[in-house]
Homo-oligomer: A and B are copies of this chain.
């Protein structure tokens, strides 16, 4: 659909023009008419001078709304943005932003003195909220939660709760759930705004609240958070500390970003490349891709060395060499399949997925697929070369290589998790390069045994 009446480029240049011609009123009217996301996209196109004008034309609270919508690459520029503002202005903007977004920004500012200066200059309340969030581990519930939520005591009536919510509405990031806490801030239950609307004004929260409130621990992995929100169709998920005290909430819009992030990293891992690479030049792109390629190259040297051990065999039966890539390739494909299934099972946290049951599962799957593919190629090669001993060799080698690749594909990610690595880093190229080695060894070893027969 059309977000801009004009194209994006057109709106950008027209806004730039207004800034250059000091058309403040016009700029304010047209810029404020846009959605924050579009404002952020346009703001990212401005140069230093133009941004400076924006800081003069717009109040910190207005700029804060724009920065709340900053995402991904644009976020990495936030250091530059804030350092070019007056300290007081910068602090005010950070104070007006949603605490979780302010933390994202501050995490992108390397100049620590500036950060602490901002923390001093901003309203104490905001500073408190931010410093609470800032020391949570990356990719945990605590890191993505916001502390701006609506909480009430259980002795409230519906009307009181509604009034309380009405006041909070301006501040809170979401007002669609009202959380009920006891005097020690422990999470007792939840009501949806829908409940507040449906029930009579003078009924008591205590008798209406849903005590079966779904919550996560502050240090739970963000993947679990996303899964929870997805499974239970929540708009927000409360985050509790070790004493079950309510620390914050995670809103569904942050969960959407988490899912995107996780999907991209899984996908990138499987292909051994950052699929979100937004490189300006092929050289940058190459720089990010080469490490994997070169690593795998040296891993592949192992296969080359291994093959060279069999040169004698090959020169006495050069026909063998025709099938090397076929066997390594097919085994690599099978390995990639079981790898992908294993990683997905792990990232989707299927706890029921028992180590050895899934091991034997992949083993058997490898045997079945190996037998089918092995028999097929045995016949094809046998007929093609008119030599069924050769066919047999290739078939057996193919089957064994597939079995090994399947097991490797399913085990390696599990082992990585065991040793505290992200299994998604075990990429398809990695597994297929690895299985090249085993496949070649199996192939030529079997061939050497059979060689006497032809």
Query: Do B336 and A272 touch across chains, with their CB atoms under 8 A apart?
Result: yes
| In the complex, A256 has a CB within 8 A of chain B | yes
Q: A175-B194, A214-B1 are in contact. Are A311 and B321 (CB under 8 A)?
A: yes
Query: Do A290 and B322 touch across chains, with their CB atoms under 8 A apart?
Result: no
Q: How far is the CA of A311 from the CA of B318 in the complex (A)?
A: 6
Query: Do A212 and B33 touch across chains, with their CB atoms under 8 A apart?
Result: yes
A11 shortest CB reach to chain B, Å: 13
Query: Do B322 and A311 touch across chains, with their CB atoms under 8 A apart?
Result: yes
Query: Do B220 and A198 touch across chains, with their CB atoms under 8 A apart?
Result: no
Q: Please tell me the size bucket of the interface on A.
A: 35 or more
Query: Do A271 and B273 touch across chains, with their CB atoms under 8 A apart?
Result: no
Chain B residues, CB < 8 A from A325 = 300, 303-304, 307, 324-325, 328, 436, 440
Q: How far is the CA of A429 from the CA of B315 in the complex (A)?
A: 30
Q: How far is the CA of A176 from the CA of B196 in the complex (A)?
A: 13
Q: How far is the CA of A235 from the CA of B367 in the complex (A)?
A: 48
Q: How far is the CA of A61 from the CA of B296 in the complex (A)?
A: 58
Which A residues, 170 to 207, have Cβ-Cβ distances below 8 Å to chain B? Answer: 170, 175-176, 193-194, 197-198
Q: How far is the CA of A260 from the CA of B344 in the complex (A)?
A: 12
Query: Do A332 and B432 touch across chains, with their CB atoms under 8 A apart?
Result: yes
A235 shortest CB reach to chain B, Å: 6
* Segment with Cβ contacts to B, from A12-20, A129-137, A261-269: A261-269
* Segment with Cβ contacts to B, from A85-93, A117-125, A281-289: A281-289
| In the complex, A233 has a CB within 8 A of chain B | yes
A22 shortest CB reach to chain B, Å: 26
Q: A328 — nearest CB in chain B belongs to which residue?
A: B325
Q: A273 — nearest CB in chain B belongs to which residue?
A: B337
A298 shortest CB reach to chain B, Å: 8
Q: How far is the CA of A352 from the CA of B277 in the complex (A)?
A: 15
Query: Do B169 and A344 touch across chains, with their CB atoms under 8 A apart?
Result: no
Q: A35-B214, A364-B282, A372-B294 are in contact. Are A263 and B272 (CB under 8 A)?
A: no
| In the complex, A292 has a CB within 8 A of chain B | yes
A336 shortest CB reach to chain B, Å: 5
| In the complex, A10 has a CB within 8 A of chain B | no
Q: A212-B33, A253-B233 are in contact. Are A365 and B282 (CB under 8 A)?
A: yes
A42 shortest CB reach to chain B, Å: 14
Residues of chain A whose beta carbon lies under 8 Å from any beta carbon of chain B: 1-3, 33-35, 37, 69, 71, 112, 165-166, 169-170, 175-176, 193-194, 197-198, 212, 214-217, 220, 228-233, 235, 252-253, 255-257, 259-260, 262-264, 266-268, 270-273, 275-277, 282-283, 285-286, 289-290, 292-294, 296-297, 300-301, 303-305, 307-308, 311-312, 314-315, 318-319, 321-326, 328-330, 332-334, 336-341, 343-344, 361-362, 364-365, 367-369, 372-373, 376-377, 380-381, 402, 428-429, 432-433, 436, 440
A–B Cβ pairs within 8 angstroms, 30 of them: A35-B214, A165-B197, A166-B197, A169-B194, A175-B194, A235-B235, A259-B263, A266-B267, A267-B267, A271-B336, A272-B333, A273-B341, A275-B340, A282-B362, A283-B368, A286-B365, A289-B334, A289-B365, A292-B337, A293-B333, A293-B369, A296-B333, A297-B373, A297-B377, A301-B326, A307-B322, A311-B319, A315-B318, A325-B328, A332-B432
For the complex with contacts A304-B381, A314-B318, 15 further pairs of A-B residues with Cβ separation under 8 Å are A1-B214, A166-B198, A176-B193, A230-B253, A233-B253, A273-B340, A275-B344, A282-B365, A282-B368, A286-B368, A286-B369, A314-B321, A315-B318, A332-B429, A428-B428
